[in-house]
Chain A
Amino acid sequence: MNDQIDPTTESALAGLREPAPVGLAHATLVAVGLADDYAVLHSPVGPLRVAWNGRGVSAVEEAPDDGVFEARFYARTGRVARRRDALPADLARKIERRLAGRHNRIDLDLRGSTAFERAVWMKALEIPRGEVRPYGWIAREIGRPKAVRAVGTALGQNPVPLIVPCHRVVRSDGMIGQYSLGGPRNKRTILAGEGADPDELETLARAGIRYFGSDTTHIYCLPTCHDARRVTERHLVRFSSAGAASAAGYRPCKHCRPTVATAVA
């Protein structure tokens, strides 16, 4: 092919090739979700490592250092996570708002999970800040009433705790129970910070009280339900079972849907 190009021009133009900037390949893989970035987020339970990619947040974890986090992340996802100085500003803002109780949209990368796990996690997302629900409640709500133990396991596998608030799910006997993000003490700290007093909840649990009713409305709720907490002490009725509540002529609250918990409690 004759371009009538002189050798000087030819070599000068060929010399204009420019290597791609370092980091472009990783940034590209992050954008399509084949690699991740992560940064440290300061939370009420201490520093957490939060990973994300173009598909969404992929991990929230308590790890002693970067090395441990990266190794665990790779073992779980098969992807490389690279440390950044900070979370992207908009993501940090979204997480902050979510932790403050806002129902904003945060994209999550939940690849590698089962449909059952995702159903459990999405249901946990419906529990309002400051309230708790028993494992059995999730099981019934997702149409798998006998899968209480599996619900507990799925919550333990939650890759994005805090964002998916598995800390709001407690044992069916009302005790606070286990927590994947650094253990039960963290669960109590987070719940207390959200306005659900774990000590008070366990006092109720030990006293065998599962439901609160109102003698004016004749509706009964889970104790942390927003509606139950508006009932004044004078009108508050305590029940140890849904059966007792319905025998007394009370109907279940439509917001916290307490009945579903009874069948498996």
Chain B
Amino acid sequence: MMVELDPATDDARLAARLASDLDSSFESLVVAHQDRLFTIAFRTGGDRHDAEELVQDCFVRAYRALATYPPTRIRELRLRGWLTTILLNAGRNRARVKRVPTTELTFEPGAEPAVDPLTRRDERETWARLLAGLTSAQRTAVVLRHVDGMSYAEIAEATGRPEGTVKAHVHRGLAALRTALLAAERREREEIPA
């Protein structure tokens, strides 16, 4: 279970520890952020193994950066957004190097056996598939806002996009999810014999 304490306070405390002794506190950073970074990588990319490598890559980059930052700079870091930025950049580089489109798992209507998405044993799989059908920008925005729970201001900072743009991406993403869900439900109703 993921326990939600107060992430901002925890991060500030963690940043202070990282500033005073990187090597002895880096493990705490990994433990505190690995689940959310893995979630973001997995839900935006779609492949477990790739997500695992990406998160590791992200932490390695973070470690190397922290090793060169002066303590004052580390203490002021907003770790949540900072790590998210590193993860997203690493993901983009990786996609470019591997020449694999980030929207590899596109939502193909009818590709799955028609089962009521909401009564399916694993409802999460359905939602994951719906998410995969969004555009990359929408999916990232929706995952950061509603799966990870970042604020719009944090997402804007982490993605380097204006807050208005992020909001629009989330809004359109949610609308697309609703449409896809309705379509899936309708298709299923039509395919059940009377």
Contacts and interface: CB of A to CB of B under 8 A. Distances in A.
Given A3-B145, A12-B127, A29-B27, A24 B39 contact: no
A19 B146 contact: no
Contacts of A232: none
Interface in A31-63: 31-32, 34, 54
A18 B177 contact: no
Interface in A2-23: 3-5, 9-10, 12-21
A253 B105 CA distance: 67
B138 to A, nearest CB: 13
A75 interface: no
A45 B76 CA distance: 53
A16 B144 CA distance: 11
B185 interface: no
A34 B26 contact: yes
Contact of A16 (B56, B64, B131, B170): B131
B62 to A, nearest CB: 9
A27 B124 CA distance: 27
B156 interface: no
Contacts of A24: 34, 38, 52, 55-56
A15 B27 contact: no
A201 to B, nearest CB: 44
Contacts of B48: 21
Interface in B136-194: 142-143, 145-149, 151-152, 170-171, 174, 177-178
B47 interface: no
B35 A20 contact: yes
B146 A13 contact: yes
Interface string B123-137: 110011001000000
Q: What bracket does the count of chain B residues touching chain A fall in?
A: 35 or more
Contact of A9 (B55, B60, B177): B177
A28 interface: yes
A1 interface: yes
A25 B147 contact: no
B30 A16 contact: no
B83 interface: no
Contacts of B148: 17
Interface of B: 2, 23, 26-27, 30-31, 34-39, 42-43, 48, 52, 55-56, 59-60, 63-64, 123-124, 127-128, 131, 142-143, 145-149, 151-152, 170-171, 174, 177-178
Given A15-B124, A25-B34, 17 more contacts: A1-B151, A3-B145, A3-B146, A9-B177, A12-B124, A14-B149, A17-B2, A18-B38, A18-B42, A19-B38, A20-B34, A21-B48, A24-B55, A25-B30, A28-B30, A28-B60, A34-B27
In the A-B complex, the 3 residue pairs with the closest CB atoms: A20-B38, A20-B34, A13-B146
Interface of A: 1, 3-5, 9-10, 12-21, 24-25, 27-29, 31-32, 34, 54
22 contacts: A3-B171, A4-B171, A9-B174, A12-B123, A12-B127, A13-B131, A13-B142, A15-B124, A16-B43, A16-B124, A17-B2, A17-B39, A18-B39, A19-B35, A20-B37, A24-B34, A24-B38, A24-B55, A25-B27, A27-B56, A31-B59, A34-B23
